[in-house]
Amino acid sequence: MILTTGQPFWLTERGLVRYPVLAQDEQCDVVIIGGGISGAMLGYYLTQAGLRAVLLEERYIGGGSTSASTAMLQYELDENLVDLRKKVGIPRANEAYLANLYGVHGVARLCQQELPQDCGLRYCHSLYLASSASDVASLEEEGDARRGIGIEAEFLDEAELLRRFQLVKPAALYSADTAEVNPYELTHTLLAQAQAAGLRVYERTAAQRYEVSSDGQRVTVHTAGGHTVRAGHVVVCTGFAAADLVPQDIVNLHSTYVVLSQVGQADALPTGDAQLWETARPYIYTRRTPDGRIMVGGRDEVIKQPTFQNAMLETKADKLEKQFRELFAQPIAFTRDFVWAGVYGETDDSLPYIGQHPDFPRAWFALGYGGNGTTYSLLAAEIIRDALTGRQHRYAGTFGFEGR
């Protein structure tokens, strides 16, 4: 399965970090399948809790969807709070938004207080733009709903938006509680800390299947190389990339495209540190990088198979750049430097699946689908850690399979 194409910026900046191939049978408390940001979070949190863990990745650690992520840390979901309440009910929708708010600050705390480096973590703001005049009323309602559960969101009308940010849109919600990070750097920093605490990490080691012991107390994961890992539990965080290991028919595949400017061009933006995204679906989204580049993503499309035509990249990049420039009332300098695309999964309600499934005994799932993958990864790691150590996380029931 091809997860990225083009030249993801994070990989180029850091370079490929390598790990060994599994060459012997292993035993542990928990085997983690998947070596992206979710697997790294789990490896870190489980070893910090004193559990012995082994992580298996089919390809290269962090080289799949994680390397193509824009890692915009937002409490905001692809589904508006008002609309999500209609799909999953008011309590669950409220908890989902509050969980992501918790997740943003959780990732920030992790990077700024626990890890030896901040992995490019930076707090910023978010501007959620009304794409058309018909979206203004629903945007006002959305702001009211968020403030009703304690999330600050300032409504800006057309004149105020133009005056403060030179944006040509009918309205926007302006929020704090937003951040951004380098996802590839964060993945490998987490794993380095986890390895120091005993985590064993193997790449180019495909997990083909797992089986439960006759007494129902252990699992054995079989790899393509003929080796096994025996454990008390298995945690699957492969997203959609291991069809035999995840429940079926819970995710739709999309491709998303990203174009990145040259160094320093974000410094002249009238929007300052704010990330941008909009009410249209699909939408474009923007963030800055630590070296002052402008990152613009979007032009998403549903795909039947996760493959790309490289010829499409330039066309998508042209459209993204044009759409970005049209947001502003003044000329914006944007000189293209990187272009890439990635595959991601999206559920019908835009929520991840975190927890156990009745068809998969002794297995846990950390499937952070949607546009909030990094915050979902932290939430999944905490929820599963607590469950395996006899505790109950506040958000344990928010993202489970039950009732969906």
pLDDT by residue (tens digit) across 271-306?
999 999 999 988 999 999 999 999 999 977 766 555
Say if residue 263's pLDDT is above 70.
yes
Amino acid 255: pLDDT: 79
Is residue 242 predicted with pLDDT exceeding 70? no
Positive or negative: CA dihedral 388, 392, 395, 399: positive
Is the whole-model pTM more than 0.85? yes
* Residue the block writes with tokens 């962090």: 62
Helix (H, G, I), strand (E, B) or coil at 163: helix
DSSP β-bridge partners for residue 361: none
According to the 3-state scheme, what is the secondary structure of 82-136? HHHHHHHCHHHHHHHHHHHHHHHHHHHHHHHHHCCCCCCCEEEEEEEECCCHHHH
Q: Are 219 and 229 in contact (CB under 8 A)?
A: no
Same fold, 4-8+22-69+184-250+350-388 and 252-346: no
Residue 243 has pLDDT above 60, yes or no: no
Among the four given CATH numbers 3.50.50.60, 3.40.50.720, 2.50.20.10, 3.90.25.10, the one describing domain 4-8+22-69+184-250+350-388:
3.50.50.60
Provide the pLDDT for residue 1.
Answer: 44
Q: Where are the domains of the chain?
A: 4-8+22-69+184-250+350-388, 252-346
Token pair of 128 as six digits: 């959620």
Between CA 105 and CA 112 the distance in angstroms is 10
> What pLDDT, in 10s, does the model give residues 168-213?
999 999 999 999 999 999 999 999 999 999 999 999 999 999 999 9
Q: Is the pLDDT of residue 307 over 60?
A: no
What is the pLDDT, as a whole number, of residue 281? 87
Residue pLDDT, tens place only, 89-115 = 999 999 999 999 999 999 999 999 999
pLDDT band at 160 (very low <50, low <70, confident <90, very high): very high
Q: Residues 5-59: pLDDT tens digits?
A: 567 888 877 778 899 999 999 999 999 999 999 999 999 999 999 999 999 999 9
- Dihedral pair phi/psi, residue 294, rounded to 5°: -100, 125
Residue 343 has pLDDT above 80, yes or no: no
> What pLDDT shows up at residue 5?
58
* Residue 2 confidence class, pLDDT cut points 50, 70, 90: very low
Strands 219-223 and 207-212: antiparallel
Mean pLDDT for the chain overall: 92
Question: What per-residue confidence (pLDDT) applies to 302?
Answer: 67
CATH hierarchy code of domain 252-346: 3.30.70
Q: Which of 108, 78, 136, 81 is nearest to 285 (CA)?
A: 78
Question: CA nearest 381: which of 146, 203, 121, 114?
Answer: 114
Query: Which whole-number Å values give the CA distances from 284 to 41, 167, 181, 308, in the listed order?
Result: 28, 14, 19, 19
One-letter amino acid identity for 366? A
